[in-house]
Each structure stands twice: as structure tokens, then as C-alpha cells.
Chains A and B, each alone.
Chain A
Amino acid sequence: MRQLFFLCLLLSKFIHSQEISSLNKSSFSVDFGSLGSRYIYPKTDINFSTSLIKSSVFRVSARLRSYGTLYFFSKTAYDFTPLMEYYFTKTEQLLYFSAGIGMDARIRLVHDSRSPATSSVEPLVSLALHGNYKKVSYSVPLWTRWYSNGMAYVILPQLNWELNEKNVLFVRYEMNYLRISKNISREWSQDVFVGLKRSLN
């Protein structure tokens, strides 16, 4: 695995290509997921992403996740995740990196005496690998979130297929690892999402 990583890094140095076009574009994406680790439960995401300054390596994005629906409007729960990322390159390569900070706001609207869920906001740090090759690109972000009683990590590998200049089809797998520090409780969960991203310029 380590050898493969360094091979990609080495190869990327020899592939000089054009600027990463998506860095300068604004995009809007929607995706649907329901294949949870335990049972099928619908979730949908709307994501908007744009460069902070024209031709810069800074991008900002905001994702709104709705729970319990395939139609984006939920009466029960949302996650709102704004994120600012710095890209360590401007050119397309087999492997490049980005790092970002943001927050994860959990908005819980359920009124049920059996529910212990509460709304809150947690800081988030993102480290991501990216790569491009012809019509295919990928990204593998690792998000770390801090809570008052522990931490959570989520890895969100996404494979993108460029359908045309404007549209990209993607599949994303998400694996969550939640850890409560004090009583060493851990939980894994996973989801799969399919979506479409559209460039806005």
C-alpha cells in the first residue's frame, strides 16, 4: 500500500497537464443514499462548491444532508457542513492533496420522548487525496470531528466520471468511525451514495 502511494506520487510528478478545471468552477451536486450498514434508510445531499477567489487554490463548499427522505425536505433531521479547503496544486495530477477546516452542524427536529438526539455544532478538519486521469477523477477525504466526549472520523472516497463538460456522475462510499473516549465505546457505520454534479460556469 505504501509502495503504491509513493508510485502514484512519483508518477504524478511526470505528468504535467492543464490546470484542474474544477478548481475554478462553481458546482452544484445532488446525491442519494440509502444503503446503510444495518438497513435501508434514505438520505439525500445537496452540495454547493465554489472557488473563494478567481483562480485560487482555495475552495469553499457547503453540504446539506437530509435524513429520512429521497426528496431533500426532511421534517426530522439535517446536517449542514460548510468547509473551506486549500489545494496544494493547481494542475491535474494522478495524486494531489488538499486540507480544509469547517464545521458540522447537526440539526435534529424530532419531538419524541424516546429520542435523545439534540442539535449541536462540531469543528471539522478535512485532509484529502485527489487525482485526475482523462474523464475519471477521484477524491478520498478524511474528515475528523471533535465532540465533547469523543471523536469521529469519516472517510468518503468518491469516484467521478465526467459525462460531458458540464456534468459528472459520481459514486461515494462513506465509512464512519465514532468513538466515545471515556468508556471506550466504538461504532462503525457505512453508506453508499450515487449522485450528479453540474458545473455552474
Chain B
Amino acid sequence: MKTYLKFLLFGLAIALFSCGKVPTSVPNQPISHFVGDFENGTVSGFRYLLIDTTKNTQIVNNPVRKGKYALKNILHPDDFVNNGYRTELAIYNSANYKSEVYYSFSFWVDSNYLDTTYNLVCQWQDLPYYLQGEDWTPSPTLHGSAPPISLTYVNNTIELKMNDNPSSSNQTFLVGEPLKIKKGKWYDVVAHIYWSDDKTAYQEISINGKSITPFNGLDYKYYHRNLFNRAGNYFKFGQYRGKNKTEHTNIIYFDEVKIGSTLNEVAL
């Protein structure tokens, strides 16, 4: 075989072996099934978006939704982390493109909670499309927005908020009706979500067994795009106020945080 042919074949072999995968997300990749019930007396297993676990979290035995322990989540006026006032716990690999996922958690707003402005008790935050070269810190920052979907505690109600504009932080819209929330009482949230960047996406969310997504004539699935790209989202819960600084230290308790592929998997 002539030398140049050998070189050509060698080059082709190198090219074929070095090939990566198509830079687009594979649909319906398995999620991380998760149980965070704090029964081991710690906040292990979560990713932290807070100043310090010893300052912002405590494991308590009262109030407790189930078992022996729950999480006390404390947001102080100066807890500014990653461009916002927050104390959040996150679970990655929990909202993949074209996957159907169930989430559940219970929350209790402390009787001494004082503010009436918005505070996200959970959100499904978008991710940069890493496969296509994106990351969190483009320069200049041209892409910044409210999360595609969140549950917001505001003025003694819970609102399901969605955002359709990846380049805007103030164009969120309300889905369904706000639900009145009493302080000092457990509320059980169950969210059933199909993640997609097109109109096949849906969200079906109930609190204490009552749907907060509107009836569509058939069921309570609210069909609306919930991914800005195919990188998927990830789940966070706790307290998040964006740039809105509070004057008070506020406390919300959480328990029984679960993620799974079926309703049974996340049931209390």
C-alpha cells in the first residue's frame, strides 16, 4: 500500500475514533430519583446555594410533616449568594429534556414570617446549553431571566409563576389562581411535569390535593413550554428573593422532598 494511502487511512481512523456525540440533548435521559426526608439528621444529599449550612439550615423535630425531623430554612437580610438573596437547596439531574417527572415536598411558613413581597419556595431553574458552548457567565451578560417555572409565596398566597422569555426577568405570568396560605400549617405540594422546549410540555401541580393548575376540559395539565433549551432544568427549594432585600429574617420549614418517575414514588 502506498505511503500516502496509509496516512489517509490512519487519518480517517483517528477522525472516526475521536468523534464525539451530536451536541444536542438525548430525550428522556434518566433522572436522579431522590428522597430528602432529613431523617438522618443532616442536609446531606443536596447541593447548597446558601451562605453557610450552619447559618441557614437547622434540622428540627418540631414542626415535622412525617418521621422525626424536618428542615428549618432561614433567610437573613444579608444572605446574598450567586447574584440574589437566597438560601436554597438544589437537586441536579432532576428535570431532563422530554422526561416526565414527579416532585413532592411539604412546607410550613413560620408564624413569625413578616414580609409580603415575593419569595420563591421552589423553582425549576434553566441551565445553560453546555453542549452548545454556553455557560453561566457570558460577557456581556445578555441572557438572564426568571426561572421558567416557580412556586412563589407572596402576600400570604402561593402563586404558580411561569416565564416564557429567556431574556427577561420581569415578564413572568400567573398560572391559575393564587392559593391562600395560612402560617403555621403544613402544605403538601405535588408537581407532575413533562419537560420540553415545545408546546407538548405540561405542568400539573396540586397543593394539599387541590389543583392549582387550571382545568383544561380534560385534566389539570397546563400545557406550556417549560424549557428554554434542551439542557433541561434543575430543582431548587428554600427561599429566593432575587435582588429584593428583606428587612426581616424569615423562616420556612420543609420536609419530605422527593423526586421520582411515578406518583407512588413521591407519595407521602
Contacts and interface: CB of A to CB of B under 8 A. Distances in A.
A164 interface: no
Contacts of B139: 42, 68-71
Contact of A42 (B24, B130, B136, B142): B142
B167 interface: yes
Interface of B: 12, 15-16, 18-27, 92-93, 127, 129-140, 142-143, 145, 166-167, 197, 228-230, 234
B166 A116 contact: no
20 contacts: A39-B142, A42-B140, A42-B142, A67-B134, A68-B134, A69-B138, A106-B20, A106-B23, A114-B92, A115-B130, A115-B135, A116-B130, A116-B131, A118-B21, A146-B19, A147-B21, A149-B22, A178-B24, A179-B22, A180-B21
A185 B24 contact: yes
Nearest to A178: B24
A25 interface: no
What is the interface of chain B mostly: helix, strand, loop, or mixed? Answer: loop
A11 interface: no
B130 A112 contact: yes
B29 to A, nearest CB: 9
A42 B140 CA distance: 8
Interface stretch (A50-58, A84-92, A120-128, A192-200): A120-128
B142 A41 contact: yes
A156 to B, nearest CB: 16
A39 B138 CA distance: 12
Given A38-B229, A112-B130, A185-B27, A121 B18 contact: yes
Contact-residue size bin, chain A (C-beta under 8 Å from the other chain) = 35 or more
A118 B133 CA distance: 10
Given A70-B139, A70-B140, A183-B27, A41 B22 contact: no
A34 to B, nearest CB: 6
B140 A117 contact: no
A7 interface: no
Contacts, number: 127
Nearest to A184: B27
Given A38-B129, A38-B229, 15 more contacts: A34-B142, A40-B142, A41-B143, A67-B135, A68-B133, A77-B133, A77-B134, A79-B133, A114-B127, A122-B19, A152-B23, A178-B22, A178-B23, A179-B22, A185-B24
Interface string A125-151: 000000000000000000000111111
A200 B19 CA distance: 34
A40 B136 CA distance: 13
Nearest to B131: A117
Given A41-B143, A114-B234, A185-B26, A120 B20 contact: yes
Given A40-B142, A41-B142, A185-B27, A108 B133 contact: yes
B138 A68 contact: yes
A4 to B, nearest CB: 33
Contacts of B229: 38
Contacts of A183: 26-27
Interface in A164-191: 178-180, 183, 185, 187, 189
A59 interface: no
Nearest to A107: B133
Contacts of B23: 106, 117, 152, 178
Interface string A18-42: 0000000000000000100011111
A187 B18 contact: no
Nearest to A182: B26
